[in-house]
């Protein structure tokens, strides 16, 4: 893997379940703090479109089929997906996150909730018509096994949408240097007590995210926004989104990053074909189509 990837050296890995206990706790804290009830509909629709723009809805069976939201968190994306499909399974390794998702989707009758990890998915082989996992798999110990487990549960021809942190392979060298500095901050902040993590992440949102995002917006209006302006993605997002993502980015101890070619190789090895990438942020969003079951046997877990 890329030298840009980082790995947690401390205790907490549970190989059989393919999870890290400290990461699960941190995301439970995050979604309990930012339940997304204060996320505006405009922001929700805009970000949903950013992720799902390349998703092939036309490949789903009549009625939308049965799908998987892996690492559902607050349930913010399930709110948009559930009305389009026959049934949606929400899976998260954090019971706190599942509680938030239950509250968010309380009126949805076509969803079910599973307290499980990607290493112990409760679905038979080839039983799902689609799946998506956004911002999750770069936080697990073994992404190859995670992708294999998802592939195992999908029927041939089923689409899978994934978002993985990128290794800045489409950015200049100075941008990667900035990331290295921020990653040193993340390693320290993510190991602090919860209250300290919250306080520092909010400070980062105020003093880093907000100024850079507002500057990007001003430069966009002036039609001179550089393509590699840091945090330009947030130029049309609310401060609530910035606070959420600052905690997400700096509050998690285990983080891995991948180039576009690495993601393509990982998906192909897990049994996916016809892989396409979104050419707009957030990077990298990719969608792959599950190959025939005869061409792939999942790794043992």
pLDDT of residue 293: 57
In sequence order, the 6+-apart residues with CB closer than 8 A to the CB of 218 are none
Mean pLDDT of the chain: 92
Q: Report yes or no: 211 and 230 within 8 Å, Cβ to Cβ.
A: no
| Chain Cα centroid distance, residue 291 | 23
Q: For the whole model, what pTM was predicted?
A: 0.91
Q: Are strands 285-290 and 159-163 parallel, antiparallel or unpaired?
A: antiparallel
Quote the CA–CA distance of 154 and 121 in Å, as a whole number.
12
**Average pLDDT score over residue span 277-299:** 81
pLDDT of residue 299: 42
For residue 104, give Cα distances in angstroms to 27, 29, 77, 247, 253. 16, 16, 10, 20, 27
Phi-psi region of 163 (alpha: psi -120 to 50; beta: other; left: phi over 0): beta
pLDDT of residue 122: 96
Q: Report yes or no: 157 and 77 within 8 Å, Cβ to Cβ.
A: no
pLDDT of residue 120: 93
Number of neighbours of residue 37 by Cβ within 10 angstroms: 10
- Please say if the pLDDT value at position 80 is more than 70: yes
Q: Report yes or no: 215 and 221 within 8 Å, Cβ to Cβ.
A: no
Per residue in 145-174, pLDDT tens?
A: 999 999 999 999 999 999 999 999 999 999
For residue 162, give Cα distances in angstroms to 70, 118, 128, 173. 10, 14, 16, 26
Domain boundaries, the chain: 13-167+257-291, 173-250
Sheet architecture: strand order including 285-290 = 111-115, 87-92, 66-70, 130-134, 159-163, 285-290, 272-277
Class of domain 13-167+257-291: alpha beta
Half-sphere exposure of residue 84, counting CA atoms within 13 Å on the CB side?
17
Beta partners for residue 91, in sequence order: 70, 114
**Tokens describing residue 75:** 């349930």
Quote the CA–CA distance of 116 and 93 in Å, as a whole number.
5
What DSSP designation does 258 have? Answer: B
Measured N-to-C along each axis, helices 239-250 and 210-221 cross at an angle, to the nearest 10 degrees, of 130
- Please say if the pLDDT value at position 110 is more than 90: yes
Per residue in 24-70, pLDDT tens?
A: 999 999 999 999 999 999 999 999 999 999 999 999 999 999 999 99
- Please say if the pLDDT value at position 2 is more than 50: no
**Average pLDDT score over residue span 79-94:** 97
Quote the CA–CA distance of 132 and 54 in Å, as a whole number.
12
pLDDT of residue 12: 62
- Please say if the pLDDT value at position 288 is more than 70: yes
């Amino acid at each position: 893997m890329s030298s840009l990837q980082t790995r947690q050296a401390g205790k907490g890995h549970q190989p059989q379940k393919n999870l890290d206990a400290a990461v699960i706790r941190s995301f439970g804290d995050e979604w309990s703090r930012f339940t997304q009830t204060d996320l505006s509909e405009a922001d929700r629709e805009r970000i949903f479109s950013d992720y799902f723009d390349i998703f092939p809805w036309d490949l789903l069976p009549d009625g939308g089929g049965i799908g998987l939201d892996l690492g559902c968190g607050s349930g913010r994306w399930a709110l948009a997906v559930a009305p389009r499909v026959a049934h949606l399974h929400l899976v998260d390794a954090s019971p706190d996150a599942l509680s938030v998702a239950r509250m968010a989707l309380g009126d949805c009758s076509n969803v079910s909730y599973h307290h499980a990890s990607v290493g112990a998915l409760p679905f038979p082989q080839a039983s799902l018509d689609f799946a998506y996992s956004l911002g999750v798999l770069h936080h697990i110990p073994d992404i190859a096994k995670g992708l294999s487990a998802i592939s195992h549960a999908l029927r041939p021809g089923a689409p899978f949408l994934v978002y993985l942190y990128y290794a800045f392979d489409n950015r200049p060298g100075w941008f990667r240097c900035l990331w290295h500095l921020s990653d040193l901050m993340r390693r320290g902040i993510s190991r602090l007590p919860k209250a300290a993590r919250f306080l520092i992440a909010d400070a980062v949102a105020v003093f880093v995210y907000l100024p850079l995002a507002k500057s990007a917006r001003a430069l966009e209006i002036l039609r001179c926004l550089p393509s590699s302006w840091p945090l330009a993605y947030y130029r049309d997002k609310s401060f609530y989104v910035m606070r959420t993502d600052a905690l997400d980015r700096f509050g998690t101890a285990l983080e891995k990053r991948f180039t576009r070619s690495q993601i393509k190789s990982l998906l192909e090895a897990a049994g996916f074909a016809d892989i396409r990438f979104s050419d707009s942020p957030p990077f990298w969003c990719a969608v792959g189509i599950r190959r025939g079951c005869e061409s792939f046997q999942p790794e043992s877990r």
